[in-house]
Chain A
Amino acid sequence: MPSYNAPLRDMRFVLHEVLGVGNYQNLPGFEDASPDTVDAVIEEGAKFAQEVLQPINQSGDREGCKWDAGNVTTPKGFKEAYKQYCEGGWTGLTSLKEYGGQGLPYYVGVLLSEIVTSANMAWGMYPGLSHGAYEAIAAHGSDELKKTYLPKLVSGEWTGTMNLTEPHCGTDLGLMRTKAEPQPDGSYRITGTKIFISAGEHDMTDNIVHLVLAKIVGGPEGIRGVSLFIVPKFLPNADGSPGERNGVSCGSIEHKMGIKANATAVLNYDNAKGWLVGKAHKGMRGMFTMMNAARLGVGVQGLGLAEVSYQNGLAYAKERVQGRSLGGIKAPDKAADPIIVHPDVRRMLLTCKAFTEGARMLTYWAGLNVDLAHKHPDAMARREADDLLGLITPIVKAYQTDMGFECANLAMQCLGGHGYIAEWGMEQFVRDARIAQIYEGANGVQALDLVGRKLPANMGRSLRTFFHPLDAFLKEQAADAAMKDFIGPLLRAFGRLQQATALIAEKGMADAEEAGAASSDYLRLFALTAVGWMWAKMARVAIDKLAAGGGEDPGFYRTKLATARFFMERMLPDTASLQQKIQAGKRTLMELDAAAF
Chain B
Amino acid sequence: MSAFKKVAVLGSGVMGGGIAAHVANAGIPVMLLDIVPQGANNRNQLAEAALGRLKKTNPAALMSDRAAGLIQPGNFEDDLSRIGDCDWIVEAVIERVDLKQELYRKVAAAMKPTAIVSSNTSTIPLGTLVEGLPEAFANRFAITHFFNPPRYMRLLEVVKGPRTEDDVLPALRRFGDVALGKAVIDCKDTPGFVGNRIGIFWSTVAMSQAMSLGLTVEEADSVVGKPMGIPKTGIFGLGDLTGIDLAPHVSASMLKLLPPDDPYCKIYDANGQLAQTIQWMIGQGLTGRKGKGGFYRQDKAADGSRTRLTLDYATRTYRPTRRAELASVKAARKGLRALVEHPDKGGQYAWAVLSRVLAYAAELAPEIANSIADVDTAMKTGYAWKWGPFEQLDLVGPKWFADRLRAEGKPVPRLIEAVGAGTFYKEEGAARLIFTPEGRYAELKPAAGAWKLADVKRGKQPVLSNKGASIWDLGDGVACLELHTKMNAIDANIVAMVREAAKLDKKGFKALVIGHDGDNFSVGANIGLGLFAANTAMWPVIEQNIKEGQDAYRALRNAPFPVVGAPSGMALGGGCEILMHCDAVQAHAESYIGLVEVGVGLIPGWGGTTTLLTRWMQNAKRPQGPMPAISQAFEIIGTAQVARSAAEAKEKLLLRPSDGITMNRDRVLADAKAKALAMVPGYKPAEPAEIFLPGATARTALAMAVEGFRLQGKATPHDVTVMAALARVLSGGDVDILDPVKETDLLALERAVFLSLIKTNATLDRIEHMLTTGKPLRN
Contact = CB atoms under 8 A, between A and B. Distances in A.
B767 interface: yes
B538 A498 contact: yes
Contacts of B534: 464
15 contacts: A380-B761, A459-B531, A459-B767, A460-B535, A460-B536, A463-B536, A464-B535, A464-B761, A464-B764, A470-B537, A471-B537, A471-B539, A497-B536, A505-B532, A506-B529
A463 B771 CA distance: 17
Contacts of A571: none
B536 A501 contact: yes
Contacts of B764: 461, 464
Interface in A100-131: none
B486 to A, nearest CB: 12
A458 B765 CA distance: 9
Interface of A: 380, 458-461, 463-464, 467-468, 470-471, 497-498, 501-502, 505-506
Contacts of A460: 531-532, 535-536
A459 B533 contact: no
B768 interface: yes
A471 B542 CA distance: 14
B540 to A, nearest CB: 10
Contacts of B537: 467-468, 470-471, 498
A498 B772 contact: no
Given A458-B768, A458-B772, A463 B535 contact: yes
Interface string B518-546: 00000000001101111111110100000
A497 B537 CA distance: 11
A327 to B, nearest CB: 43
Nearest to B768: A459
A259 B764 CA distance: 46
A498 to B, nearest CB: 5
A461 B538 contact: no
A467 B533 CA distance: 10
A498 B536 contact: yes
A459 B536 contact: no
A542 B539 CA distance: 30
Contacts of A471: 537, 539
Nearest to B772: A459
Nearest to B762: A380
Chain A interface, DSSP helix/strand/loop, else mixed: helix
A461 B535 contact: yes
Closest 10 pairs (CB-CB, A-B) = A471-B537, A460-B535, A467-B537, A463-B535, A459-B768, A467-B536, A464-B535, A505-B532, A460-B532, A501-B536
Contact of B528 (A458, A459, A470, A497): A459
Best-surrounded residue of B759, B761, B771 (most CB of chain A within 10 A):
B761
A358 to B, nearest CB: 21
A461 B761 CA distance: 10
A255 to B, nearest CB: 47
B768 A502 contact: no
Most buried by A among B529, B531, B534, B536: B536
A395 B541 CA distance: 26
Interface string B379-411: 000000000000000000000000000000000
B532 A502 contact: yes
Nearest to B771: A459
Contacts of B765: 461
A83 B761 CA distance: 50
Nearest to A505: B532
A140 B19 CA distance: 61
A458 B764 CA distance: 11
A596 to B, nearest CB: 30
A459 B774 CA distance: 13
Contact of B533 (A470, A497, A502): A502
Given A380-B761, A459-B772, 19 more contacts: A458-B772, A459-B528, A459-B531, A459-B532, A459-B771, A460-B535, A460-B536, A461-B764, A461-B768, A463-B536, A464-B761, A467-B536, A468-B759, A497-B536, A498-B536, A501-B532, A502-B532, A502-B533, A502-B541
Contacts of A380: 761
Nearest to A465: B535
Contacts of B759: 468
Contacts of B761: 380, 464
Most buried by A among B532, B771, B772: B532
Nearest to B765: A461
A474 to B, nearest CB: 9
Nearest to B533: A502
Contacts of A497: 536
Given A458-B772, A460-B532, A464-B761, A502 B767 contact: no
A42 B602 CA distance: 49
A324 B541 CA distance: 53
A458 B768 CA distance: 7
Contacts of A505: 529, 532
B530 to A, nearest CB: 10
Nearest to A456: B532
B535 A467 contact: yes
A135 B538 CA distance: 38
Nearest to A461: B768
Interface centre among A460, A470, A498, A502 (most CB of B within 10 A): A460
A478 to B, nearest CB: 14
A464 B761 CA distance: 9
A502 B541 CA distance: 11
Nearest to A380: B761
Nearest to A455: B532
A511 to B, nearest CB: 15
B369 to A, nearest CB: 44
Nearest to A494: B537
B757 to A, nearest CB: 14
B325 to A, nearest CB: 11
B716 to A, nearest CB: 14
Contacts of A464: 534-535, 761, 764
Nearest to B764: A464
A468 B529 CA distance: 17
Contacts of A470: 537
A249 B541 CA distance: 60
A63 B431 CA distance: 86
A507 to B, nearest CB: 12
Contacts of A467: 535-537
A470 B534 CA distance: 13
Interface string B739-779: 00000000000000000000101001101100110000000
Contact of A502 (B528, B538, B539, B771): B538
Contacts of B535: 459-461, 463-464, 467
A380 B535 CA distance: 16
A575 to B, nearest CB: 15
Nearest to A459: B768
B777 to A, nearest CB: 12
A497 B536 CA distance: 9
B308 to A, nearest CB: 22
A12 B765 CA distance: 37
A114 B773 CA distance: 43
A392 to B, nearest CB: 15
A470 B772 CA distance: 26
Contacts of B768: 458-459, 461
A468 B758 CA distance: 12
Contacts of B538: 498, 502
Contacts of B528: 459
Nearest to B761: A464
A245 to B, nearest CB: 43
B20 to A, nearest CB: 47
A380 B531 CA distance: 19
Contacts of B532: 459-460, 463, 501-502, 505
A464 B536 CA distance: 6
A464 B533 CA distance: 10
B327 to A, nearest CB: 13
A501 B531 CA distance: 12
Residue of B529, B537, B538, B768 most packed against chain A (CB within 10 A): B537
